[in-house]
Amino acid sequence: MASATQVSPPVTGLEVETQWFPPAVKPPGSAKTFFLAGAGWRGMEVDGKLVKFTTTGVYLKDEAVSWIAAKWKGKTGEELLESDEFFQDIVTGPFEKFYRLTHIRRLEGKEFSGKVGGHLAGMIKSAGTYGEAEAKAVDKFIELYKDKEFLSVGFSNLYHQSPTGSLTVTFSDDGSYIPEERGVVIENKPLSEVMLYSIIGKNGVSPTLKRSLAERLSQLMKQEEHLY
């Protein structure tokens, strides 16, 4: 497992619905260490009952704290949680992001990618930035799941977002294992950004992840002057 023994900033790992997110990891193909900024689950009502489908942990580069603090330092977790602009800044900030989406319920691969791909396309169109390049990027994203008949419990989608707009997608059959080799790179900034925004942005699919990010980053910003 590619993870770090020393964490900077000093954060704890989190367990979400039996899935463990360590305090620090190295994305596939990267020598850089990212810290755990927050983690949460996604669910929806099915026949009147809440069904949880996935868990997601978001990891950021160390310099993200200073960059975010320049604008948001002094805000409480609740204040950050209520601000969509705060989450937009996480998505578009000039630092790398890595997030692990792990399934806690068995899903058909095509069903997952089709629904996510359609949702991403709709969001890009709403922003007025959907063109031929974006359509090809969405198709490439969906195509990645073509041979994934079923996504079993513990199956993980690993997303590495670069500041320049590329999104690297790697798969792991075990949520506790991060491969050393990176997967497929999709070069499209609108898709790269909207992928993370669909999870933590306005009407994001994981309110618990949003709260975790707001609370943990609020605390880290309070300590920021002691960390750097």
What are all long-range contacts of 82-89, with beta carbons under 8 Å and residues at least 24 apart?
84/201, 84/202, 86/214, 87/197, 87/200, 87/201, 87/202, 87/204, 87/210, 87/213, 88/197, 88/201
Question: What's the number of domains the chain is made of?
Answer: 1
Read off the DSSP letter of residue 3: B
Q: 8 in a domain, yes or no?
A: no
Joined tokens for residue 79: 């204040």
- pLDDT at position 141 is 95
The C-alpha atoms of residue 161 and residue 37 are separated, in whole angstroms, by: 15
Q: 9 in a domain, yes or no?
A: no
The C-alpha atoms of residue 10 and residue 96 are separated, in whole angstroms, by: 18
- pLDDT at position 225 is 59
Q: 62 in a domain, yes or no?
A: yes
Task: Residue 106: give the domain boundaries.
Answer: 14-227
Q: Which residues of 54-88 are buried (b: 16+ CB within 10 A; e: fewer)?
A: bbbbbbbbbebbbbbbeebeebebeebbeeeebbe
- pLDDT at position 11 is 93
- pLDDT at position 111 is 85
Q: 108 in a domain, yes or no?
A: yes
**pLDDT per residue rounded down to tens, the chain (228 residues):** 444 434 468 899 999 999 999 999 999 999 999 999 999 999 887 888 888 999 999 999 999 999 999 999 999 999 999 999 999 999 999 999 999 999 999 988 888 898 899 999 999 999 999 999 999 999 999 999 988 888 899 999 999 999 999 999 999 998 889 999 999 999 999 999 999 999 999 999 999 999 999 999 999 999 875 544
Indicate the burial class of 34 (C-beta count within 10 angstroms; 0-12, 13-18, 19 or more): buried
> The whole model's pTM is what?
0.92
Q: 188 in a domain, yes or no?
A: yes
- pLDDT at position 5 is 39
Q: Contact, 14 vs 41, CB < 8 A?
A: no
Q: 3 in a domain, yes or no?
A: no
Q: 74 in a domain, yes or no?
A: yes
- pLDDT at position 195 is 96
- pLDDT at position 147 is 85
Domain at 165, CATH number: 3.50.70.10
- pLDDT at position 48 is 84
